[in-house]
Structure formats: C-alpha cells, structure tokens
C-alpha cells in the first residue's frame, strides 16, 4: 500500500529518509509484529538511555510484553515514561556495484507511546495464554498453567499501536547509472529465519504433539 494512502499518525512517525519505503497501514504493521518473537524497548531513566530486547506478542491494537515485577524494564515502563519499541526482520543483503550503494532488504516497525499494565486478572491470564499460543498453537492446552504465585510475580504490559510506523525495503541494488557497466557482481543475498527440527529432552515421556512434528 503506498504510504500516500495512509497518513503518518504523528509528526515523529513521518518518515523523511527514503520516504517511499514508509508504510503506515495496519496490515503491514500487524504482519511485521506477528512475525516477531522479540522486540527492543527503548526508554530513558536517571541512569541513561536503555534499549532492552524482550519477547513480544500482539493482541488486536496492542503489543504485549511481560517481565518480573522487580525488573527494571517493568518498573520503569510503568512509571509513565515514554517508550519506543522497534522490531526488525532482515530479508537480504543488497550488493551494489559501488560500495556506498550497498543496502539491506528489511521490514521494520517503530511504536511510540506509554506502556500500561494489564491488571485485570482475567485479561492478564488471557494475555499470557496468547503468548503461549504464539510460541506454538495448541501449547497452552498441554502445559501446566501458570499458578497464582507465578501470575502475582509477573507484570504484563501493553502499548497501543496507535502511534506506529513501518519501513520496508525490497528489491535489488540502486546503482548509479555510471556504475552499471562495472564488472562487479550485483544482486541480493537473501536471508531468513529458518525453522529447524525439534530437539526433545532425553527424558521426554510425552507423545510428540502436532505443533512439534510440524515445526520444521
């Protein structure tokens, strides 16, 4: 979807550099978030600026994360400070004929806002169960569910996707016209995340569930 069809949701989410690569539509954002297991959460406190990688999942119009009640991530994010969340998928290395025209193909997203805690018990439980289902559809029904003590020690947070922007790059190199004759290989070295065969623990006594047998 061309960016012109979807305006940036705010001044700070309006892409200026390589603006043709900007995507502001919801579908692109959801696809990028749903393909991610990890996000990076940036925020500043009195010790400086931090950027913390952490597991994530999406439900509707929010991105969710969780952590220990005592951890800095949860404590700081619940103090009302501004956060910026990024997610990046690298799809390829783009080799141009000129060194300075090399690039990368990617899908990335940035989300700005303030995290809020999911405090209603039923919503917190639902969110954590969704997290388990994100890891493997059907997993929640197979595991010992979280108990009250585990839930009490865990903070679940979410950030609205209202102020978010995506940037994506696809295709080959953009060489300058005067470099096109150079005898240098040009093209793309594709990269991707690969699912590999599952590795069971030695003492495994359970039958192999379908989400494991079909993993790779």
Using CB under 6 A, count the residues that bind ligand FAD.
15
The DSSP output letter for 194 is -
Binding mask 103-122 for ligand FAD (x = CB under 6 A): -x-x-xxx------------
156 vs 164 by CB, closer to ligand FAD: 164
Residue 113, by phi and psi: left (phi above 0), alpha (psi -120 to 50) or beta?
left
Query: Which residues 6+ apart lie within 8 Å of 37 measured at CB?
Result: 55, 56, 134, 135
Considering only the stretches 15-23, 74-82, 186-194, 200-208, report the one whose residues sit in contact with ligand FAD under the rule CB under 6 A.
15-23
Binding mask 139-158 for ligand FAD (x = CB under 6 A): --------------------
Among 127, 51, 129, CA closest to 85: 51
Spatial contact of 127 and 31, defined as CB atoms under 8 Å apart: no
Binding mask 162-191 for ligand FAD (x = CB under 6 A): ---xxx------------------------
Q: How far is CA 125 from the centre of its chain?
A: 22
∠ CA(27), CA(164), CA(113), 5° rounding? 140
Helix ranges, 22-157 (H): 26-34, 72-77, 121-135, 148-152
Question: Binding to ligand FAD by residue 23, rule CB under 6 A?
Answer: no
Question: Binding to ligand FAD by residue 12, rule CB under 6 A?
Answer: yes
Minimum CB–partner distance for residue 165 and ligand FAD (Å): 4
Question: Binding to ligand FAD by residue 26, rule CB under 6 A?
Answer: no
Query: Which residues sit at the interface with ligand FAD, rule CB under 6 A?
Result: 12-13, 15-17, 88, 90, 104, 106, 108-110, 165-167
């Amino acid at each position: 979807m061309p960016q012109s069809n979807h305006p940036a949701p705010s001044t700070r989410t309006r892409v200026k550099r390589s603006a043709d690569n900007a995507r502001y539509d919801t579908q692109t954002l959801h696809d990028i978030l749903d393909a991610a297991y990890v996000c990076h959460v940036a925020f500043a406190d009195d010790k400086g600026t931090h950027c913390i990688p952490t597991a994530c999942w999406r439900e509707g119009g929010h991105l969710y994360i969780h952590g220990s009640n005592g951890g800095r991530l949860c404590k700081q994010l619940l103090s009302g400070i501004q956060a910026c969340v990024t997610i990046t998928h690298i799809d390829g290395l783009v080799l141009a004929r000129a060194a300075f025209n090399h690039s990368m193909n990617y899908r990335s997203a940035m989300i700005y806002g303030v995290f809020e805690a999911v405090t209603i018990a039923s919503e917190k439980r639902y969110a954590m169960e969704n997290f388990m289902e994100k890891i493997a559809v059907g997993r929640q029904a197979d595991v010992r569910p979280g108990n009250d003590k585990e839930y009490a020690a865990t903070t679940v947070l979410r950030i609205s996707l209202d102020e978010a922007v995506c940037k994506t790059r696809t295709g080959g190199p953009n060489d300058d016209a005067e470099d096109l004759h150079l005898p240098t290989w040009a093209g793309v070295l594709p990269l991707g995340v690969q699912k590999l065969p599952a590795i069971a623990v030695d003492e495994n006594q359970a039958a192999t569930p379908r989400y494991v047998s079909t993993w790779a």
